[in-house]
Amino acid sequence: MADKAELWQQLVQRHGLKPHTLEELAQWPFGDFIFNVKADAFFDVNKLRRTGFQAMHLDSFTSFRNQFEHLKTEKIIP
């Protein structure tokens, strides 16, 4: 993503975002790892909940949506 710094700065200007660099906002090696995991990973508890397991109360999709909305409100992402 190092080659996208100029594009990110254009987005920051266009949308009035806080002036963070991409490196400050994301750990790209972690993204490379997590999106290339060869084994199945446990990220979403909704299927468990549908089958009767109610011990976990967090809805994964709602959590992601809330986090992205928070980042928008804080002017971190457009």
Tell me: do 46 and 36 sit in the same domain: no
On the question of pLDDT at 11 being above 90, the answer is yes
What's the rounded mean pLDDT across residues 11-20?
Answer: 97
Identify the pLDDT of residue 51: 87
- Residue 21 makes CB contacts below 8 A (sequence gap 6+) with 5, 8
Identify the pLDDT of residue 42: 66
Structural domains counted in the chain: 2
pTM: 0.68
Instruction: Name which of 26, 19, 34, 38 is nearest 1 in CA terms.
Output: 26
Tell me: do 54 and 37 sit in the same domain: no
Question: Which one has a higher pLDDT value, 30 or 56?
Answer: 30
Which residues form the domain of 30? 1-41
Q: Over the stretch 23-52, which tens digit does the pLDDT of each residue have? A: 999 898 988 888 888 876 666 777 777 888
